[in-house]
Each structure stands twice: as structure tokens, then as C-alpha cells.
Amino acid sequence: MEAYAQHTGKLFIISGPSGAGKGTICKRLIEDSDPDRMELSVSMTTRPPRKGEVDGVSYYFVTMEQFRENVLADGFLEHAEVYGNCYGTPKAKVIEKLEAGIDVVLEIDIQGAMNVKKAYPDGIFIFILPPSMSILRKRLTGRGTDSMDIIDMRLSKTLGELSYIEEYDYVVVNGELEEAVDRVKAIVVAEHSRVTENINELIERYKEEI
């Protein structure tokens, strides 16, 4: 099974509304995984490195010109501008990992996930959902970073975003973190047991054995 499962890595897109807890889930997923089997996707950015950030680990730090060249070369699974800085998921880096048999985990908002889906439809798209809108409101309020107006705006944005769930393969409600992490782990295991086009190689191996 291992040889079959390891044949190629899979791209897991962990996505969902702000406050759903996708970052925490990704962190736990990576912490608990074998580093030879699963890695977090590293984004490319034009934002200058902050203290302690390491190129190629925190981000790939590039100039605006390099970033633009990569856009023109169709080199991103998705990219976006946030407050004047550009961020993107470099396609070549992801493909390289997948071909080496390493799963890649990509944490991204819903709009970004929809762009990734266009560029890489073979990805496994997991929507992380807060257990209820009232709990989401509590979480966003608890952060203490946003005014009530901003929180109301986020909640109403979230409602709109729910209609994208049907574009995803899985939905995981993040009520209890441990349960949600276990569910995502189960999805990873299950996806590696899926019957895919690789199955013919497996069958050939059995036939040669006789």
C-alpha cells in the first residue's frame, strides 16, 4: 500500500471564512505529520521580510518585478494583492513537492481556493466551517482586533461565502478543534486510498508476481 499511496503527493486546500480556524487546523496537521510526507505550501511575496522570517521557509521573498514575471509566466496557482503587497502560491514549487511524493497543504481564503481550483482541479478542497454564526461572531469579537461594524461585515461576507461550499470536496465543522483535526487527517488517509489511474501499476505488480 505504501508504494501505491506514496506514488504522488496530493494538494490539500484548507479553506473557509475568516475565523473558522483554518490556520490552527493546518498548523496541527503539519505538526502531527511526517515532514517527509506533508509540507505547508510556502507563498511568494513582494512584502519585505520581517525580523526572523527566513526566505524559502516563511515566504519566498521577491521583488515586484520578479513577481510580475511569474504572473506573466502563469507561474502561480493563485495570487492576490493585499494592502499594496503581492502574495501568490508558486505553481512550480508545489508541483515539485507533489512529484516527490509529498503532500502539500495550502491554507487560503475562499476566493483564492476558487482560483487554485481552476489552476489545479486535482486538489482536494476542504471547507472549514465554524459550528454556527453566533460562535463565529464570538470568535471574531474575542480577537479584539475589529470593530463591531467590521465584524458585521465579515459575518455577512461569510454568509455569502457559504454558497461556495458546493465547489469543495469536503466540509469540516470546526466545533471541537481535536475532532476537526482528526476529520481532516481522516480525509488525508482516505484520499490516499482512493482508486486512481495509478491502480493499473498496482495490478501489474500483482500479476508479475505469479
Binding site residues, a copy of itself, CB under 8 A: 1, 4, 126-127, 129, 131-134, 155-156, 159, 162-163, 165-166, 168-173, 175, 179, 182-183, 185-187, 189-191, 193-195, 199, 202-203, 206-207, 209-210
For residue 171, the minimal CB distance to a copy of itself (Å) is 5
Assess contact for 126 and 25: CB atoms under 8 A.
no
Rounded to 5°, the CA angle 83-94-62 comes to: 40
Closest to a copy of itself by CB, 86 or 181: 181
3-state secondary structure of 35: coil
Closest to a copy of itself by CB, 102 or 126: 126
- Known binding residues for ATP: 16-23
Assess contact for 16 and 125: CB atoms under 8 A.
no
For residue 118, the minimal CB distance to a copy of itself (Å) is 18
Closest to a copy of itself by CB, 97 or 183: 183
Q: Which residues of 68-90 are buried (b: 16+ CB within 10 A; e: fewer)?
A: eebeeeebbbbbeeeeeebbbbb
- Known binding residues: 16-23
For residue 168, the minimal CB distance to a copy of itself (Å) is 5
For residue 203, the minimal CB distance to a copy of itself (Å) is 5
Q: Alpha-carbon distance 154 to 137, whole Å?
A: 9
Q: Give residue 160's identity as a one-letter amino acid code.
A: G
DSSP secondary structure, 49-76, as one string: PPTT--BTTTBEE--HHHHHHHHHTT-E
Closest to a copy of itself by CB, 143 or 194: 194
